[in-house]
Amino acid sequence: MIAIGCDHAGVEMKKAVIEALSEKGFELRDMGTDGEPCDYPNMAKAVCELVVSGECEKGILICGTGIGMSIAANKIKGIRAALCSDSFSTRYTRLHNDANVMCMGARTLGPGLACELAEIFLTTGFEGGRHQRRIDLITDIENNN
């Protein structure tokens, strides 16, 4: 299960991503919004809590630029959120950083690219190995600050 949420700027992109990923067989849990004005930190928290609890494997967050969602999501212990805007960075945020939440900007990406990036994010695994040591260092920082 994949948790997905957006603020009012990302509603149309979220709909496109849900449709594309559903057609590929992914199960999604839509945490809103459906158009009503909202505060992006609340949406980030709702999605990330599902990821941290294990109820959802990964999360997708969409706001105007994706930056606000990234900042808010990364405040939640256990979340490694990455702003994704190209296929290379999206692939490597999974391969090397084991990101568990992707953030995208509805005002900076078209829906076609957003759907492509979401699929890359969800189908790319973590390489582990030398990268696990770095993830452990990030977790140590998170736990001690």
Catalytic member of 6, 48, 56, 63: 63
Distance CA 145, CA 77 (A): 11
Distance CA 91, CA 99 (A): 10
Going across the sheet that includes 58-63, the strands are 28-30, 2-6, 58-63, 101-105, 81-83
User: Active site includes 63?
Assistant: yes
> Are the C-beta atoms of residues 41 and 72 closer than 8 Å to each other?
yes
User: Active site includes 131?
Assistant: no
Active-site positions? 63, 96
